[in-house]
């Protein structure tokens, strides 16, 4: 149970998105008279937080006990983190709940662009937002219309620069954090090599890419947008161990059940840097299934436009599913997603979806959007200075709003819902921590 909050609160920051967002937010909290605390797990965390912090150099096994002592000794009232499925975050979440600490979880926006997810307790498959359509309809009646989005400037170069800075610092100082294990599968060197290979493929296969994009829409099609293999939504909130397993499942179902005049468009994620070629994998499986002339692999293109023009959209649990729902396109969810609600997404089996896809009920989806915006979304972004400034302002509003604000709707948790996730083990030994004051590297920019 969450305890009453003192006038001056103590905010603990764990890992955030690469870049200055958490640090700059912390400075605004200090200006308001609150205390801020930071625990670094690697050199990237340290570079992104150029101020007083604690470096945790212990093991995963010792983390629970260290964390529990830390939040107790520092009277932590609030914890902020980006993504709640990382092993260290997952363990901290459980201990913080036991101590009555308020938990604020950030993630990429459920609805994009211009929005970031900020939820109490958990996001995506761990969200406590009810999926009862009747409850959502009742709550929506008390809420104002969905607010207009504030246009957010986004720069791929800015986001890439923040990421490179973070992961380079992590790689170069890994010897200082010998027990740290990244939540991302594969090594940083492998990811870097994957990006080089991706750029080389784009230069060599530019003509093929354009040809594939031009082929989309010549026949009625279903759309399957891929997610990153490193995405915890695949590993934790779906029955699949990888995106390739999910892709094969969808292709086999399509081959056996979809009308012969339809096409399956498989859209590659723009940030995928896998060594293995998606084009080659899709072509190989399509040949094996006898549907080579009915499957199109695309790398690029306007996802929103493709979703709007498709017969239906299949996703593991990507937030891109909301693009289809907003356009009235039927959506089938293979895993666990916050928007997988009766009356909004197709309920049933994938084999049936190809011949009788169920479109979303407009009233139910609009009710869901109202509740989602009121409770789970804040305006802003991470890819420009102005976007981060907007995000900080929105975050402060959400952190200090009173209990009558619709963003603090009463939560009705679906206790019967099964969430697929790993178990959580208790720590068994205390671990070393060193208080440090990191070098004052600049954390701002355009």
Domain total of the chain? 2
Together in a domain, 333 and 385:
no
Range of the domain at 53: 10-127+143-154+378-437
Answer whether residue 293 is part of any domain: yes
Answer whether residue 351 is part of any domain: no
Answer whether residue 407 is part of any domain: yes
Assign residue 277 the CATH number of its domain: 3.40.50
Helix (H) or strand (E) holding 254: helix 243-257
pLDDT value, residue 157: 85
CB-based contact 194:273 (threshold 8 Å): yes
Answer whether residue 271 is part of any domain: yes
C-alpha 406/C-alpha 17 separation (Å) is 27
Answer whether residue 173 is part of any domain: no
Answer whether residue 174 is part of any domain: no
CB-based contact 333:350 (threshold 8 Å): no
Together in a domain, 323 and 412:
no
Together in a domain, 287 and 384:
no
Cis omega (within 30 of 0) for bond into 436: no
Answer whether residue 53 is part of any domain: yes
Together in a domain, 283 and 388:
no
pLDDT value, residue 421: 30
Answer whether residue 34 is part of any domain: yes
Together in a domain, 112 and 208:
no
**Residue 126: helix, strand or coil by DSSP?**
helix
- Which of 317, 340, 363 is a domain's end point? 340
Together in a domain, 193 and 317:
yes
How many helices (H) and strands (E) the chain has is answered by: 16, 13
Together in a domain, 320 and 419:
no
Together in a domain, 243 and 330:
yes
pLDDT in tens, the chain (446 residues): 555 667 889 999 999 999 999 999 999 999 999 999 999 999 999 999 999 999 999 999 999 999 999 999 999 999 999 999 899 999 999 999 999 999 999 999 999 889 999 999 999 888 999 999 999 999 999 999 998 888 888 888 898 899 889 989 998 999 999 988 876 655 555 555 555 555 555 665 656 667 766 767 789 999 999 998 777 788 888 999 889 999 999 999 999 999 999 999 999 887 666 657 788 899 999 999 999 999 999 988 889 999 999 999 999 999 999 999 999 999 999 999 999 999 999 999 999 999 999 999 999 999 999 999 999 999 999 999 999 999 999 999 999 985 334 444 434 333 332 222 333 333 333 333 333 333 333 333 32
Residue in the block written with tokens 């896809």: 357
């Amino acid at each position: 149970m969450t305890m009453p909050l003192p006038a001056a609160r103590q905010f603990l920051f764990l890992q955030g998105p690469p870049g200055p967002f958490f640090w700059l937010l912390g400075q605004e909290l200090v200006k308001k008279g609150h205390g801020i605390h930071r625990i670094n797990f690697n050199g990237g965390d340290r570079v992104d937080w150029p101020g007083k912090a604690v470096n945790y150099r212990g093991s995963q096994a010792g983390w629970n006990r260290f964390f529990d002592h830390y939040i107790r000794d520092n009277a932590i009232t609030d914890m902020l983190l980006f993504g709640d499925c990382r092993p260290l975050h997952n363990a901290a979440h459980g201990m913080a709940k036991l101590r009555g600490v308020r938990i604020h979880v950030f993630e990429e926006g459920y609805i994009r662009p211009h929005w970031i997810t900020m939820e109490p307790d958990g996001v995506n498959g761990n969200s406590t937002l009810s999926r009862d359509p009747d409850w959502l309809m009742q709550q929506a009646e008390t809420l104002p219309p969905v607010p207009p989005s504030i246009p957010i400037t986004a720069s791929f170069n800015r986001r890439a620069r923040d990421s490179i800075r973070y992961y380079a610092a992590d790689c170069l100082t890994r010897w200082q954090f010998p027990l740290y294990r990244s939540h991302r599968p594969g090594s940083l060197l492998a990811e870097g090599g994957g990006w080089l290979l991706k750029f080389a493929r784009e230069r060599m296969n530019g003509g093929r890419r354009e040809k594939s994009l031009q082929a989309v829409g010549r026949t009625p099609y279903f759309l399957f947008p891929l997610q990153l293999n490193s995405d915890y939504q695949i590993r934790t909130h779906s029955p699949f161990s990888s995106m390739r397993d999910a892709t094969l499942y969808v292709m086999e179902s399509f081959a056996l059940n979809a009308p012969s005049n339809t096409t399956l468009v498989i859209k590659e994620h723009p940030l995928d840097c896998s060594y293995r070629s998606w084009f080659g994998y899709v072509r190989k499986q399509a040949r094996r299934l006898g549907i080579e002339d009915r499957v199109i692999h695309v790398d690029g293109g306007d996802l929103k436009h493709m979703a709007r023009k498709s017969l239906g959209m299949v996703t593991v649990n990507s937030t891109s599913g909301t693009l289809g729902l907003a356009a009235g396109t039927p959506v089938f969810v293979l895993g666990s997603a916050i928007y997988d609600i009766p009356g909004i997404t197709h309920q049933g089996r994938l084999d049936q979806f190809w011949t009788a896809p169920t479109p979303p009920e407009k009233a139910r989806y609009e009710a869901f959007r109202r509740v989602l915006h009121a409770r789970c979304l804040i305006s802003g972004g991470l890819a420009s200075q102005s976007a981060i400034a907007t995000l900080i302002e929105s975050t402060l509003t959400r952190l200090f709003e009173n209990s009558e604000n619709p963003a603090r709707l009463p939560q009705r948790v679906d206790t019967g819902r099964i969430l697929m996730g790993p178990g959580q083990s208790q720590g068994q030994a205390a671990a070393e921590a060193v208080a440090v004051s990191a070098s004052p590297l600049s954390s701002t920019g355009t």
